[in-house]
C-alpha cells in the first residue's frame, strides 16, 4: 500500500481501517470500538480479553520494559509478544475503562485479573482462556490455586497446552506474585502525520529487518511489516532556526524506525555543512557522510542501532561552518527511513471484507492537492 501527500504546503493526517474493524489509533479509540455503554464489569473484561486474543500473537518480544506494554504500540507497531505483554496490556486497557485490574506473575506464566462483584477474576489473553467455577463465576488466580480442578476439567486449553501442566502454574504458589505497577507509558496515538510531499510504502511480507533489542535466537516474527518513509524539505527556511548558523529538523513517526539515511543537496561542494543528530536536543552526535557531485549522503543505521530502546523520532541539526544560515549551503534535505508496523493493524486487500474506510483526522486549511492512495497485491491460487 502506498500513501503520498501530493501537496507541497499542507500536512495530512489520514485514518485508515477495514470497515467493521476496531479503531486501533489510541487506547480511547480501542475501548470506544469494543465496549458498549450498558456493559457491566464482566462484559467489559471479556471484551478487552477477546480484543487482545484477536489482535496479537505469541512470539519473542522486541525488547524488555514498557515498550510493548503500551497497547497502541503493542498492536500497531508489533502485534506480538509474550504472556507478560498480553497481561499488562489487558491491565492498562481495563484501567483505562475504569476497572480495577492487576497482573499476576506465576511459575513461568503471567496473567491478568479484574476486580468486580467483590472478588478478583482471571483473564489470560495469551492462552486465550478464562475459567468459570461450578457456580459459573469467572475464577481468580487464588481460587484456581486452591481448586485446580476448575482448570483440569478440560484436558487442554485453547492453545492445546495440557491442563494438568497449566494447573501447576497456579498451584506452585511459593513464587506467585501480584504486580500492580502502572507501566510508564504515554497516551500514544498511532496516526501518521504526512508532511508535505511525504511518500510512504507499507510492505506486508518478507521484512528485511525488525526491531529486536532482546537477545533471541528465534527467527524473525512470522507476521511483521516493513515500510518506507520518504520525507523532503524543499525550503529549509521552514526549519526552526536555533542559532545564526543552525537550523533543526524534527523527524517524527508513529512506527518504530529501523534504518535509513539523510540526503542533502548542497549549493556547492566547496563548503560542507556539519550535521548532528539527537533524540532529546541535549546530547548531539556528529554524523559523517560521503559527498558525490553536489549531494551529501549520511547513513543513520549505526546511530539507530546504538539507541537503547525503540526510536520513533530524532532531531537533525544543520550547521554552516562559516557562521551563515544553513540555507546558504543546503538547497534541499531528504530523509528515507525504514520502519516496522503490524500488518494486521494496517488494513490491506485480503480474501474477504475488502471494504475500507479512510477519513482525514483534521480538515486541511484551504485548498490541497490531496492524498494519493494505491493498493497493490498479488493474487495467489
Look at residue 381 and tell me whether its pLDDT is greater than 60: no
Q: What's the pLDDT band for 57 if we cut at 50, 70, 90?
A: very high
CB distance 38 to 216 below 8 Å: no
Mean pLDDT across the stretch 358-372?
Answer: 86
CA–CA separation, 321 and 324 (whole Å): 7
Q: Indicate the pairing of strand 100-105 with strand 80-81.
A: unpaired
Interacting residues of 106 by C-beta distance below 8 A, sequence separation 6+: 141, 169, 170, 172, 175, 176
Between 219 and 139, the more confident residue is: 139
3-state SS, residue 106: coil
pLDDT of 90 reads 98
pLDDT of 247 reads 97
Percent share of the chain, pLDDT over 90: 87
Among residues 39, 103, 97, 42, the alpha carbon closest in space to that of 69 is found at 103
Look at residue 195 and tell me whether its pLDDT is greater than 70: yes
pLDDT of 350 reads 83
Query: What are 33-49's pLDDT values in tens digits?
Result: 999 999 999 999 999 99
Look at residue 58 and tell me whether its pLDDT is greater than 60: yes
Look at residue 380 and tell me whether its pLDDT is greater than 70: no
Look at residue 24 and tell me whether its pLDDT is greater than 90: yes
Interacting residues of 133 by C-beta distance below 8 A, sequence separation 6+: 139, 143, 147, 150
Torsion of CA 94, 99, 104, 108, to 10 degrees: -20
Look at residue 366 and tell me whether its pLDDT is greater than 90: no
* Average pLDDT over the chain, rounded to an integer: 95
Mean pLDDT across the stretch 153-166?
Answer: 96
pLDDT of 216 reads 65
In angstroms, what CA-CA distances link 117 with 43, 59, 138, 170, 373? 12, 34, 11, 22, 49
pLDDT of 351 reads 81
Strands lying side by side in the sheet with 240-243: 240-243, 246-252, 313-319, 274-278, 285-287
pLDDT of 214 reads 80
Query: What are 296-349's pLDDT values in tens digits?
Result: 999 999 999 999 999 999 999 999 998 899 999 999 999 999 999 999 999 998
Mean pLDDT across the stretch 174-189?
Answer: 92
pLDDT of 217 reads 66
- Phi, psi dihedral angles at 296 (to 5 degrees): -105, 120
pLDDT of 181 reads 92
pLDDT of 261 reads 98
Query: What are 232-286's pLDDT values in tens digits?
Result: 999 999 999 999 999 999 999 999 999 999 999 999 988 899 999 999 999 999 9
Percent share of the chain, pLDDT over 70: 99
Strands lying side by side in the sheet with 177-179: 119-123, 110-116, 100-105, 177-179
Q: What's the pLDDT band for 365 if we cut at 50, 70, 90?
A: confident
Amino acid at each position: 500500500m502506498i500513501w503520498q501527500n501530493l501537496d507541497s504546503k499542507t500536512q495530512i493526517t489520514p485514518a485508515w481501517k477495514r470497515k467493521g474493524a476496531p479503531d486501533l489509533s489510541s487506547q480511547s479509540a480501542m475501548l470506544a470500538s469494543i465496549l458498549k455503554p450498558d456493559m457491566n464489569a464482566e462484559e467489559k473484561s471479556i471484551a478487552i480479553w477477546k480484543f487482545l486474543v484477536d489482535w496479537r500473537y505469541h512470539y519473542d518480544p522486541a525488547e524488555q520494559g514498557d515498550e510493548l506494554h503500551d497497547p497502541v504500540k503493542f498492536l500497531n507497531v508489533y502485534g506480538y509478544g509474550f504472556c507478560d505483554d498480553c497481561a499488562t496490556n489487558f491491565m492498562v486497557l481495563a484501567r483505562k475503562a475504569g476497572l480495577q485490574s492487576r497482573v499476576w506473575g506465576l511459575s513461568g506464566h503471567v496473567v491478568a485479573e479484574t476486580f468486580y462483584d467483590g472478588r478478583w477474576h482471571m483473564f489470560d489473553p495469551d492462552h486465550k482462556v478464562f475459567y468459570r467455577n461450578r457456580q459459573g463465576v469467572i475464577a481468580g488466580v487464588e481460587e484456581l490455586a486452591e481448586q485446580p480442578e476448575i482448570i483440569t476439567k478440560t484436558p487442554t486449553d485453547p492453545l492445546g497446552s495440557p491442563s494438568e501442566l497449566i494447573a501447576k502454574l497456579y498451584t506452585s504458589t511459593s513464587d506467585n506474585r501480584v504486580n500492580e505497577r502502572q507501566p510508564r507509558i504515554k497516551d500514544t496515538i498511532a496516526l501518521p502525520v504526512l508532511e508535505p510531499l511525504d511518500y510512504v510504502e507499507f510492505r506486508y511480507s518478507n521484512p528485511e529487518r525488525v526491531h529486536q533489542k532482546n537477545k533471541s535466537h528465534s527467527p524473525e516474527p512470522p507476521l511483521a511489516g516493513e515500510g518506507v518513509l520518504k520525507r523532503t524539505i524543499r525550503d529549509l527556511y521552514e526549519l526552526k532556526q536555533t542559532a545564526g548558523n543552525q537550523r533543526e529538523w524534527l523527524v517524527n513517526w508513529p512506527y518504530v524506525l529501523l534504518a535509513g539515511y539523510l540526503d542533502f543537496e548542497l549549493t556547492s561542494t566547496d563548503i560542507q555543512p556539519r550535521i548532528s543528530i539527537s533524540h532529546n536536543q541535549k546530547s548531539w552526535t556528529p554524523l559523517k557522510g560521503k559527498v558525490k557531485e553536489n549531494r551529501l549522503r549520511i547513513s543513520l543505521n549505526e546511530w539507530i542501532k546504538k539507541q537503547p530502546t525503540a526510536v520513533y523520532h530524532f532531531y537533525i541539526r544543520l550547521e554552516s561552518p562559516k557562521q551563515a544560515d544553513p540555507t546558504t549551503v543546503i538547497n534541499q534535505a531528504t530523509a528515507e527511513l525504514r520502519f516496522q508496523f503490524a500488518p494486521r493493524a494496517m488494513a490491506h486487500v485480503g480474501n474477504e471484507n475488502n471494504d475500507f474506510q479512510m477519513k482525514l483526522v483534521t480538515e486541511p486549511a484551504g485548498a490541497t492537492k490531496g492524498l494519493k492512495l494505491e493498493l497493490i497485491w498479488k493474487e495467489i491460487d
